[in-house]
Amino acid sequence: MTTPAMAGFQHRTVLLDEAVDALDLTGPRADGIYIDGTFGRGGHSRLILSKLGAKARLYAFDKDPQAIATAQQIADTRFEIVHDSFATMREALGERGVHAGQVDGILLDLGISSPQVDDAERGFSFRQDGPLDMRMDTTRGISAAEWLATASEQQLEKVIRDYGEERFAFQIAKAIVAGRAVEPIRGTRQLAGIVAGAVKTREKGKDPATRTFQAIRIFINRELEDLEAGLDAAYAMLAPGARLAIISFHSLEDRMVKQFLAAKAKAPQPDRRLPIKAADLPQPEMKLISKMKPSDEEVEANPRARSAVMRVAQRLSAASGALQ
């Protein structure tokens, strides 16, 4: 059942067909075990289920209670939703009898969903006035307003600079501290106004508050920490030949994904002074499959897809170092 908070907010799944196709749900793998690490509103999960066999299992993860409510509407015995970050997949699936090296494909669609952005009550966007919450999981942790009330000027500057890649981080942090001394910063438009007053120039067509809101959201939800832990967990869970598809939406995420996959796809270099046979040389752990961006048609239909980048890699056999 759709709750009032969920009603009226539509979500278009980015790279829907391309991401599911990248998992290669064919042949015997159609009855395998799969993970949708970011359920959102279920676009990828529903399409994956439509392609899986009767014996398959799909485990989805999400921190958002509204996403969990949506997932619970899926009446499919092959499907289970876990109310937690995908960073916990190894422990969560271990409790369900699924262990390292047993998963046939993992999809991570990073970032936030349109319903989260469009719902003013969530506080993710400055385009509508609402409470400064910004938590993906509204049942845990502190809100953005609570953090802004107590963070030091140095902490504010570091978060805004590092997570927002904002060159005016010092000026914004100073303005926030000055602003909260007058009155508590509790609303999205209130914060956006403070930022706008501190940012003197900005790229054409981009709101001055964009980078600051991104930075605070990433920090509050520990998004980069979750991604780092999630990448390690995903690699551990994948079976030989299984694929990992990751869709990112900003440069910090994509850089982490790119570097992680590149490191796994590069064979360790042995000491050249050691007498090692060619057959015994270390082999790469993963193979890079593809990099893809949304088509012009998809971006036109869904402008929020513009910044998306999907990277796909395949876990290689520990024995042979490669799969054909």
Q: How far apart are CA 188 and CA 131, in angstroms?
A: 6
Phi-psi group of 24: left, alpha or beta (phi > 0 → left; psi -120 to 50 → alpha; rest → beta) = left
- Give the DSSP per-residue string, 4-71: TTTTT---PPTTHHHHHHHT---GGGGGSEEEES--TTSHHHHHHHHHS-TT-EEEEEES-HHHHHHH
Angle value at C-alpha 253, between 124 and 60, nearest 5 degrees:
75
Confidence (pLDDT) at 111: 78
Query: 61 φ, ψ to 5°?
Result: -125, 145
Confidence (pLDDT) at 9: 44
Query: 189 φ, ψ to 5°?
Result: -65, -35
Q: How far apart are CA 147 and CA 133, in angstroms?
A: 10
Known binding site for S-adenosyl-L-methionine: residues?
42-44, 62, 86, 109, 116
Split the chain (324 residues) into runs of 10 and give each run's mean pLDDT: 40 89 95 97 96 98 96 97 98 98 97 84 92 95 97 98 96 98 97 94 82 97 97 97 96 97 84 60 87 95 92 79 36
Q: What are the chain's domains?
A: 16-114+223-315 (3.40.50.150), 141-220 (1.10.150.170)
Known binding site: residues?
42-44, 62, 86, 109, 116
Confidence (pLDDT) at 321: 37
Confidence (pLDDT) at 319: 41
Q: How far apart are CA 73 and CA 205, in angstroms?
A: 39
Confidence (pLDDT) at 85: 97
Q: How far apart are CA 28 and CA 215, in angstroms?
A: 43
Confidence (pLDDT) at 273: 61
Residue whose tokens read 């395998």 = 32
